[in-house]
Amino acid sequence: MIKSLVLPCKALKFPLEKFEGRKQLRCKGPKMELTLTQPDDWHLHLRDGNLLEGVVSHSASHFGRAIVMPNLKPPVTTTAAAVAYRESILKVLPVNSNFTPLMTLYLTDKTSPEEIKRARRSDVVFAVKLYPAGATTNSQDGVTDLFGKCLPVLEEMAEQNMPLLVHGEVTDTNVDIFDREKVFIETILKPLVQRLPQLKVVMEHITTMDAVRFVESCKEAATVTPQHLLLNRNSLFQGGLQPHNYCLPVLKREIHREAIVAAVTSGSKRFFLGTDSAPHERRRKECPCGCAGIYNAPVALSLYAKVFEDAGALDKLEAFTSFNGPDFYGLPRNTSKIKMTRTPWKVPESFSFSFGDIIPMFAGETLEWQPSFM
């Protein structure tokens, strides 16, 4: 019996016995193929207008469903607006696409409990997003006082089993930008879950070991991005300022990246895929006041596979990409499959549209894993 496969390109051994009986991993000549239940993206920015039309196919070609972020201009603050936004997404999907957008509401100081009830009845809205005012792109309409102005809404969300998706950073300018997630956990998130233990909370795009420890210490969950698994804050400055590696929450020290990788590849059910893919036109990234956001939709699955392979944990990849998210949200797992083939491919330098270019994560670099539908 073959117990391991030696891959010529990296002389890498991976223990095949982890997959025996599951028909998940197989060798085809010098290539390795991995079969996964089709993943979902539990944190995605699709934008609107021409930008939406340009980028939606990259997500729809890989993911079955996606939690779509509501930080448009104006933000998606009502169920009616969420329904309209969903229709605009469906209209520009590729022909024969089965991609399903799962909509969210943008929490404000003025959101009402009645709106939460409407959202639950809609079967269209699946969560509510908390942006502290000023924390990130289009967050100026976000919450200014969570406990003082939003407590009745949060109580109704708990009653309706509606998850709260949290951008976990304080916006106090006196707090160092690299410490804002840690301070948010201590001053906002821990008091919140203690006050409303029945409220389902997802800490989005976690970036620190502090967030890992928080999630592991309670019943909450977290999404994790490719950039926070593969890059640290040095990636912002190596070879000059790198605007296409700038996102919020900002990349952190290597010790934090390592802690997130260890948590995600451990097999814990509390962590699941959320790309935070955030497209901006090139001219809006490469400018004196560049926008925050990394466009990773075309490469996300390839990068997640790299992370798990490097950790010797490919047998845990499917749970992270395809099981933990729907299980947390109480949704059925997808039944379709995708194939990940270990064959080199080059990431395009850019994607060109009538409105301008978008630079993807790892532009121009060669990746080892390539996804395809079965």
Cβ atoms of residues 41 and 63 within 8 Å: yes
The values of phi and psi at residue 68, to 5°, are -95, 125
Report how far apart the first and last C-alpha atoms of the chain are (Å, whole number). Answer: 28
Tell me the HSE value of 157 on the side-chain side, using a 13 A CA sphere: 27
**Whether the model pTM is above 0.85:** yes
The span from the CA of 306 to the CA of 61, in Å, is 19
| 43 is a catalytic site residue | yes
Strand 164-166 with 356-358, pairing: unpaired
The values of phi and psi at residue 15, to 5°, are -70, 105
Residue 310 CB neighbour total at 10 angstroms: 15
The letter for the amino acid at 43 is H
pLDDT at 27: 67
DSSP assignment of 194-243, as one string? HH-TTS-EEE-S--SHHHHHHHHHSS-EEEE-HHHHH--GGGGTTTS--G
| 205 is a catalytic site residue | yes
Tell me the HSE value of 119 on the side-chain side, using a 13 A CA sphere: 32
Q: Please identify which of the residues 62, 182, 200, 205 carries the catalytic annotation.
A: 205
pLDDT at 28: 59
The span from the CA of 181 to the CA of 203, in Å, is 10
Cβ atoms of residues 293 and 284 within 8 Å: no
Phi-psi region of 42 (alpha: psi -120 to 50; beta: other; left: phi over 0): alpha
Q: Please identify which of the residues 40, 41, 43, 228 carries the catalytic annotation.
A: 43
| 276 is a catalytic site residue | yes
| 285 is a catalytic site residue | no
| The residue to which tokens 């790309």 are assigned | 275
The span from the CA of 369 to the CA of 5, in Å, is 16
Helices (H) and strands (E) in the chain, counts: 14, 16
Structure tokens at 159: 């009653």
- Residue 309: partners with Cβ closer than 8 Å, 6 or more residues away: 12, 14, 368, 369
| 45 is a catalytic site residue | yes
The span from the CA of 190 to the CA of 184, in Å, is 9
Cβ atoms of residues 273 and 318 within 8 Å: no
Structure tokens at 112: 């009402």
Q: Report the SS3 class of residue 300.
A: helix
Per-residue pLDDT of the chain (374 residues; tens, 9 = 90+): 223 333 444 434 455 555 544 456 766 556 799 999 999 999 999 999 999 999 999 999 999 999 999 999 999 999 999 999 999 999 999 999 999 999 999 999 999 999 999 999 999 999 999 999 887 877 788 999 999 999 999 999 999 999 999 999 999 999 999 999 999 999 999 999 999 999 999 999 999 999 999 999 998 999 999 999 999 999 999 999 999 999 999 999 999 999 999 999 999 999 999 999 999 999 999 999 999 999 999 999 999 999 999 999 999 999 999 999 999 999 999 999 999 999 999 999 999 999 999 999 999 999 999 999 87
Edge-to-edge strands of the sheet including 25-28?
Answer: 25-28, 31-37, 337-346, 366-373
| 228 is a catalytic site residue | no
Q: Please identify which of the residues 41, 141, 210, 276 carries the catalytic annotation.
A: 276
| The residue to which tokens 């708990």 are assigned | 158
Q: Please identify which of the residues 41, 62, 141, 167 carries the catalytic annotation.
A: 167
Cβ atoms of residues 256 and 240 within 8 Å: no
Q: Report the SS3 class of residue 137.
A: coil
The span from the CA of 135 to the CA of 295, in Å, is 19
Q: Please identify which of the residues 40, 41, 45, 141 carries the catalytic annotation.
A: 45
